[in-house]
Structure 1
Amino acid sequence: MRSLLVALLIALAVPVAAQTATVIAAIENLLKQRPEDPTLWYYLSHFQVEAGDKKAALAALKKVDELGEGFLPPREFGFEAIWEDKAFQALRSKLEARLPRLDFAPVAFEIDDRAFIPEGIAYDPGTASFLVGSIAQKRIVRVSPGGVVTEFAGKDAKLDHVLGLALDSPRRTLYAISTNAITEAGEKERRNTVVAFDADTGKLLQRAEVPGAQQLNDVAVARGGRVFVSDSASGAVYEILKSGAPHTVLAAGQARGTNGLAVSPDVKRLYIGHSTGVAMVDLATGKMTRVTVPARETVAGIDGLYEWEGQLVGVQNITTPGRVILMTLSPDGTAITRVQTLLSHHHPSLDEPTTGAVTSHGFYLLAATGVNRFNREGKIDRPDTVPKPTVLRVLLSR
């Protein structure tokens, strides 16, 4: 759910309050190591816009065009200042022309509450229903097959802002990320908790505090019931145990801006979406490696990340206005050999897509969220522009 600005500051280990010049210098330093990384050039273009250097911003975007595929600067993520510039629009049109148009995805359901501001979603195969969490209203609802919305966890659950959700269906347990650290007030006294509920009754089962976390974001459940959570603000990843303190799987600072998580079917590898790509942790040794991708492709800025039949499904909302991608893994799971678009930015319902849920009927995408309107003061900006929360059904195919 991170904006481009925050994601980049996290990725570069630069405090949010740092001057733009400092961020630009950090990106340029990384480019000395990875001069053909189109993601870094894309981020550099954004910050050059912020610095007011249109010429440098366009030069960086030309490098993106030269080196990468899958990029399309969104107006609301840092490119407003040059949006009407003819040279920028020409470059953007060139980038867009190379993108496939895959906009078939029927609406599965909507929530008739524009102030809900959802971020996480989980599917319950036992009841054929969906569980959706609210950032703004600090609650979780259940959406039945007929689209009826009922309360699952409300005021009595004492939740903070609800982000990632994951269901352990065999054990009938829903895990939810509850954090106050997405607002300025919350950062003064952070609360980061993984809350477990009985999926059938809504009964509170466990509140696992993660005192070392800066801002928890997403949660994933592996086969067998192991639970992993990401801390986007520090880059750490934790395993939540049934009792006792959380176990650190990935220490802070190794992969900045950690977000979506996915576990291999054999529970040997944990995949982590972060600001500039996808990393993999060997769960036996704890060693982290960067997952390689084909030349020109980008898997950066993935919000929701999921395992499906030995492959990865990712939701992007930073390097593009929004798309869903399928990443084919090598036999040993250490490399991405193909990146395929399942849903492109052309779909009219997309408004900062965040996460989704893999089901036997397809991938259900939380397509319209309005998350970017929820500000650091904990209020909703421009409420008249917030979309109705919308979930799309995206077909899964090889």
Structure 2
Amino acid sequence: MKALLSSAYMLLTCVTSLQAQSSSDSLSILAQYQKFIQVYTAKDYSQCVNIGSQLQKRLEHPNVLYKLAQCQCQSGLTEQSLALLGQLAVLGLPYQPEENENFQALTTHKNFLKIREQFAQNRQPVQNSSKAFELSDPLLIPEGIAATSQGEQFFIGSLAKNKIASYTPLAGEHDWVASQQDGMFSVLGMKVSKDGQSLWVCSASERDSLNGYSGIFQYDISTGKLRHKYVLDNKTGAHLFNDIVITRKNAVYFTDSKGRQVLTIQPNTNQIVPLLKEVDFIYPNGIAMDEKEENLYVADLTGLTRIELTTGNYYRMATNQVTYLNGIDGLYIYKGTLVAIQDSGNNDDRIIRLYLDKDKKKLAKAQTLQSFHPDFVIPTTGTIVGDEFFYIANSQLRNLNPDGSYTNSEKLKKPLILKLKLSPKI
């Protein structure tokens, strides 16, 4: 879930949610980001460079780097600005610095043309998707999607209506879990268990006295009945269970975006506990587990973290200057690679495939599978069926307010599910 707005807005949202909680390194980073945005907005370029240079060492988010490059240029630091723009261009960002007045001083520089050309190449659309199916309700605001192993049945969750819809190619769509059934909150990430018997659902509330409540719901797929329900309240802090993975033995791991942790459910006590107490993520979101069930991959605002389930060791994934790893929402494993739905912070969403080195500590290659689709309105999550990736193309999250009301509801479109063939390794 992209926290209603862009990656940049998500950072500011995190500052607000963290300020009510205990002091931490994450809070320090986010507070520093907030100050950076303030001086950038005020056009205090000298302060912007000072704060941004410090922030860059801790949060290499494209939104931060692009704004820092602008402030460097405005402060007369043209070489530093060009170098940072060049770094962003190599990583595949689609910016247009030639249209930004803050880079006016660079337009005659000999290296600027080459950088412009790289950015222009990054903006070339990659179109590999086709329509899978469409749902009827424009007010659904879907965020999570899951499917049975052969794609006989799809499940689509609604943020706005606190329900789960079912779609089958033969029978079409119907409500599978009715609105607020079983105490369901807004529906986020979902997964079908490896044995195909259960649907596991992340759900969270941001409304009234229940703001910060979150739960994991397990449903029997054959009957549609609730098997188990695990809920955390907001008494010791806010929670937002965002996405989930399940092992073959039905052990579950899920991200808590507001709680800044990866959580699991103890099989003997049914208690929700942190997987790694010492790790403090910044809005953890997508989560994936490799085929051998040895490693978890967790996306947060700073990038990707790999967690070894056997040892508890964890590693920040190095980009190796292949691409950027920020802004990832849905995250999936496919034949030893990662498939991700990603937002650069510039409203240019894309679907990428990430190839890891043999030690699984840094990227080896990156492949854009889809970018600049005309129907994209904040794509969020997907599900892999065989060799195809099905995903929500137009969640329209920005039209849903925290109180459950809509903005410009008359302009909302029917939810569209696209699919693409996962191409061979490059």
**Mapped partners of 2:197, 2:82: distance in 1:** 50
Matched, 1:307 2:333: yes
SS at match of 1:106: strand
* 1:32-43 equivalences in 2 (<5 Å): 33=57, 39-40=60-61, 42-43=63-64
Count of equivalent residues: 380
- Please say which of residues 98-107 and 278-287 is displaced more in the overlay: 98-107
Q: Given that residues 234 and 252 in structure 1 are in contact (C-alpha distance below 8 angstroms), is that contact kept between their aligned partners in structure 2?
A: no
| Cα drift, residue 47 of structure 1 | 9.2
- Please say which of residues 163-172 and 98-107 is displaced more in the overlay: 98-107
Q: Given that residues 303 and 327 in structure 2 are in contact (C-alpha distance below 8 angstroms), is that contact kept between their aligned partners in structure 1?
A: yes
Matched, 1:5 2:29: no
**Mapped partners of 1:8, 1:92: distance in 2:** 28
Which of 125, 130, 143 matches 2:154? 130
Unaligned regions of 5+ residues in structure 2, if any?
16-25, 41-47, 108-114
Note closer, same or farther for the CA distance 1:340–1:376 as it changes in structure 2 (3 Å cut).
same
Matched, 1:396 2:422: yes
* 1:123-272 equivalences in 2 (<5 Å): 123-125=147-149, 128-146=152-170, 148-155=172-179, 156-181=181-206, 183=207, 185=208, 189-211=211-233, 214-242=239-267, 243-251=269-277, 254-272=280-298
- Please say which of residues 201-210 and 122-131 is displaced more in the overlay: 122-131
SS at match of 1:265: coil
Note closer, same or farther for the CA distance 1:387–1:86 as it changes in structure 2 (3 Å cut).
farther
- Residue identity in the other structure for 1:329: L
TM-superposition CA deviations, 1:32-79 (whole Å, max 9, x none): x36xx7x43523546999xx99958x98986653112222369xxxxx
Note closer, same or farther for the CA distance 1:395–1:41 as it changes in structure 2 (3 Å cut).
closer
Q: Where does residue 352 of structure 2 map in the other structure?
A: 325
Q: Where does residue 38 of structure 2 map in the other structure?
A: 21
Q: Where does residue 65 of structure 1 map in the other structure?
A: 85
Note closer, same or farther for the CA distance 1:17–1:72 as it changes in structure 2 (3 Å cut).
closer
Note closer, same or farther for the CA distance 1:28–1:201 as it changes in structure 2 (3 Å cut).
farther
SS at match of 1:8: helix
**Mapped partners of 1:227, 1:387: distance in 2:** 34
| Cα drift, residue 200 of structure 1 | 1.9
Which of 123, 127, 131 matches 1:107? 131
Normalising by structure 2, we get a TM-score of 0.79
**Mapped partners of 2:278, 2:165: distance in 1:** 32
**Mapped partners of 1:134, 1:16: distance in 2:** 34
Unaligned regions of 5+ residues in structure 1, if any?
75-81
Q: Given that residues 52 and 68 in structure 2 are in contact (C-alpha distance below 8 angstroms), is that contact kept between their aligned partners in structure 1?
A: no
Matched, 1:343 2:367: no
Note closer, same or farther for the CA distance 1:92–1:380 as it changes in structure 2 (3 Å cut).
farther
Note closer, same or farther for the CA distance 1:291–1:126 as it changes in structure 2 (3 Å cut).
same
| Cα drift, residue 385 of structure 1 | 3.0
- Residue identity in the other structure for 1:159: M
| Cα drift, residue 297 of structure 1 | 1.2
Q: Given that residues 293 and 338 in structure 1 are in contact (C-alpha distance below 8 angstroms), is that contact kept between their aligned partners in structure 2?
A: no
| Cα drift, residue 372 of structure 1 | 1.9
Note closer, same or farther for the CA distance 1:92–1:227 as it changes in structure 2 (3 Å cut).
farther
**Mapped partners of 1:384, 1:61: distance in 2:** 43
| Cα drift, residue 268 of structure 1 | 1.3
Which of 91, 95, 103 matches 2:119? 95
Q: Given that residues 73 and 81 in structure 2 are in contact (C-alpha distance below 8 angstroms), is that contact kept between their aligned partners in structure 1?
A: no
TM-superposition CA deviations, 1:168-216 (whole Å, max 9, x none): 04051101111103x5x35x64211001101121100111123465222
Q: Given that residues 8 and 63 in structure 2 are in contact (C-alpha distance below 8 angstroms), is that contact kept between their aligned partners in structure 1?
A: no
| Cα drift, residue 161 of structure 1 | 0.7
- Please say which of residues 294-303 and 63-72 is displaced more in the overlay: 63-72
Q: Given that residues 42 and 64 in structure 1 are in contact (C-alpha distance below 8 angstroms), is that contact kept between their aligned partners in structure 2?
A: no
**Mapped partners of 2:280, 2:39: distance in 1:** 20
Q: Where does residue 371 of structure 1 map in the other structure?
A: 397
Percentage of pairs with the same residue: 24
SS at match of 1:250: coil
Q: Given that residues 61 and 326 in structure 2 are in contact (C-alpha distance below 8 angstroms), is that contact kept between their aligned partners in structure 1?
A: no
Note closer, same or farther for the CA distance 1:385–1:46 as it changes in structure 2 (3 Å cut).
farther
Structure of higher CA gyration radius = 2
| Cα drift, residue 108 of structure 1 | 0.3
SS at match of 2:61: helix
| Cα drift, residue 98 of structure 1 | 2.7
**Mapped partners of 1:314, 1:297: distance in 2:** 12
| Cα drift, residue 114 of structure 1 | 0.9
**Mapped partners of 1:250, 1:339: distance in 2:** 29
Note closer, same or farther for the CA distance 1:54–1:214 as it changes in structure 2 (3 Å cut).
farther
TM-superposition CA deviations, 1:63-96 (whole Å, max 9, x none): 653112222369xxxxxxx998566799988624
Note closer, same or farther for the CA distance 1:176–1:370 as it changes in structure 2 (3 Å cut).
same
Q: Given that residues 293 and 335 in structure 1 are in contact (C-alpha distance below 8 angstroms), is that contact kept between their aligned partners in structure 2?
A: yes
- Residue identity in the other structure for 2:38: A
Q: Given that residues 138 and 159 in structure 1 are in contact (C-alpha distance below 8 angstroms), is that contact kept between their aligned partners in structure 2?
A: yes
Note closer, same or farther for the CA distance 1:55–1:264 as it changes in structure 2 (3 Å cut).
same
TM-superposition CA deviations, 1:195-241 (whole Å, max 9, x none): 11011211001111234652221112233322111011232000124
| Cα drift, residue 152 of structure 1 | 0.8
| Structure 1 vs Structure 2 CA RMSD | 3.4
**Mapped partners of 2:276, 2:202: distance in 1:** 18
| Cα drift, residue 16 of structure 1 | 12
Q: Given that residues 227 and 240 in structure 1 are in contact (C-alpha distance below 8 angstroms), is that contact kept between their aligned partners in structure 2?
A: yes
